[in-house]
Structure 1
Amino acid sequence: MMHVKSLGVGSRLLPLSFSASAGEVVHVIGPNGSGKSTLLSAIAGLLDYTGEVELAGTCLKQVSIAEMADHRAFLSQSDRPAFNIEVAHYLALSIPKHALNAQQEIEDAISQLTAILQVNDKLHRSVHQLSGGEWQRVRLCAICLQVWPTLNPFAKLLILDEPAAPLDIGQEAMLYQLIDMIAAKGLCVIMSNHDLNRTLKHADHAILLDKGVMQAVGKVDEVLTPSKLTKVFNTHVERVSVNGKEILLFD
C-alpha cells in the first residue's frame, strides 16, 4: 500500500527503502538525532527528499499538500496555535471537506473520539488553558478526524511523531488502544516511538535508525533483538520472558 524507495534527505537521512500494508502499525525507533522525525516529515511531504514515496499507487511528489491531506494525516511533535481558539473550533478545522454536509457522521465521530481520548469535557475551553497531556489528546483527536473512515473514504495513512511523549501512563495506554482501532479500520499507521517495550507489544513492523542510517527493518521480533539494540543504543539490552510476555531490560 505504501512503498518508500531510496528515500533520502541530504546528510540527515541516507537512502532507505521499505513497504507497509493497510492495517499495519509500523514503529520508527532509534536514539535521539537518528532521523526519525526527518523520515516521517519526508513521508508526509513536508521536506524535500530524493527517491520516491508511493501511496496506493500514487507518487506523492506528483500531488499537492492539499491533495495529500485527503490521503494522509501527520501529527508533528507538540505545538500550539498562536491564536486563541476553543477546542471545539480547533477540532472543526480537521473535518475533511468531503464530510462537511454529513452532520450526523461528524457528530458521531467527534463524540466517539472525544470520549475515547477523554476530552469531551474540554470542548469549550481555550487550547491555551489545557495542560500538555490534554492538548496532546486534543491534537490526537483532530488528526484522527482528518482520516476517520466515516468522514474520509480516501484516507490511507496516519503518521505520528512521538505521540506518547506528553502523556502519562494511563493516557499512553489509551493512545495505543486508539492506534489499534485505527489500524483495524484499514489504515496504515507509522509512528516514531521511544518506548521499545510498547513497540514490542503493539507494532507489526519496526524500522531501526541510527545517525540517519537504517540499521534494520522488518517484523518486530527480527528488529528488536538484543544485539541490534545494544549496538545502536550503546547500552546493554536483554530480552526476557515475564509471565509469558516478552520484555526488554536495559542497564
Structure 2
Amino acid sequence: MMLEVQELAFGYGARAVGSQVGLTLAEGEALCLLGPNGGGKTTLFKTLLGLLRPLAGRVLLDGIDLADLPRREIAKKIGYVPQAHAAFFPFSVRDVVLMGRASRLPAFAGPGPADRAAAERALAMLGIGHLAERIYTEISGGERQLALIARALAGEPRLLVMDEPTASLDFGNQARVLTQVRRLSERGIAVVLSTHDPGHAFLCADRVALLHGGRLVALGPPAETVTPESLRLLYGVEVAVVPLPGQGRTVCTPLIG
C-alpha cells in the first residue's frame, strides 16, 4: 500500500481540526474527498504532505512514517496542486512547469537537459504543449490549472494531492481537469483530490471519503458512498443522486423548495 493513514488526528498547534481518520491509497487509485467548508479537508491535505505534523496517529508512505522522511524526499514522491495560485511574474508556461523539478535539483543547481525533458513530457501529458511559450498570467483559469498539474507531474511524483482542482473553473474546464485526473490514475499515479461537487466523484474516483466534523463518516466506491442520505449529512440539504441511463454516469443536484 503506497499511502496509509492510521488513527490520524490533525490540526494547528494544540487545536485539533480532525481525529480518528484512517484510510489507504494504492498506486493508480483515485480517491475523492468530499466535505463542507471548514470541515478539515485542506488541513488534512497539509498533514498528508508533511507540512503539518500529526497531533496523533501516523501517515505512512511506502511503509515509512512521513515524520522520518526528509522534506526533499517527500517532495520527490508527492506532488501538490493547490486550489488557488496567485501569479505576479510573467513566466512562460514552460518555465512554470519546469519549476516542478526543484525537488530533483541539488542546492544552487539549475535545470539540465533531463529536467527540461521531464517538463516537456508533463506538458505533452496534459495536452498543453501549445501553451509552452505563452505567459502564465495571460492564459485562462482552466489552462493555468492544467499548467499547475503539469508542474506537479514534472517532479515525477508517485502520488498527487489536488486541493479543489476544479474550483472557480467553468463547466468545460472542470470536465477537462477531471478527465486528466482519470488518465493520471490509469497511468499508475495515485491521486487524492477534494471537490465541492459530489458528482465529480463518479467521473474520476475509484473511492470516496466523506469528511464531516473532522472525521471520516464513510469510505467506499462512489455508488455506495455518495447517496442522498450521506450528502444530507454533509451539507444539510436534500440532494437527488440520479444515474444517467446508458451513460455510466451519475449526477447530483440539490432539491430546492
TM bracket, shorter-chain basis: 0.7 to 0.9
Cα 1:81–1:201 shift into 2, 3 Å: closer
Provide the residue aligned with 2:143 in structure 1. Answer: 134
Between Structure 1 and Structure 2, how many residues are aligned?
241
Q: Deviations over 1:154-185 (max 9, x none)?
A: x3211000001132222222212211221112
1:192 aligns with 2:194: yes
Cα 1:86–1:247 shift into 2, 3 Å: closer
Provide the residue aligned with 1:113 in structure 2. Answer: 125
**Displacement of 1:90 after TM fit?**
1.7
CA contact (8 A) 2:59 2:66 kept: yes
Cα 1:103–1:8 shift into 2, 3 Å: closer
Task: Output the CA distance in 2 between the equivalents of 1:249 and 1:132.
Answer: 25
When structure 1 is superposed on structure 2, of 202-211 and 94-103 the one drifting more is 94-103
Q: Deviations over 1:24-81 (max 9, x none)?
A: 1000001111111111111011112131111111211111221111111011221235
Provide the residue aligned with 1:97 in structure 2. Answer: 104
Cα RMSD for the two superposed structures: 2.3
Higher relative contact order (CA 8 A, sep 6+): 1
CA contact (8 A) 1:5 1:52 kept: yes
- The percentage of aligned residue pairs carrying the same residue is 26
1:64 aligns with 2:77: no
**Displacement of 1:129 after TM fit?**
2.8
Provide the residue aligned with 2:4 in structure 1. Answer: 3
Aligned equivalent of 1:243, options 232, 242, 245: 245
Provide the residue aligned with 1:28 in structure 2. Answer: 33
Cα 1:109–1:212 shift into 2, 3 Å: same
Task: Output the CA distance in 1 between the equivalents of 2:243 and 2:98.
Answer: 45
- 5+ residue gaps in structure 1? 148-154
- 5+ residue gaps in structure 2? 106-110
Provide the residue aligned with 2:23 in structure 1. Answer: 18
**Displacement of 1:209 after TM fit?**
1.0
CA contact (8 A) 1:75 1:143 kept: yes
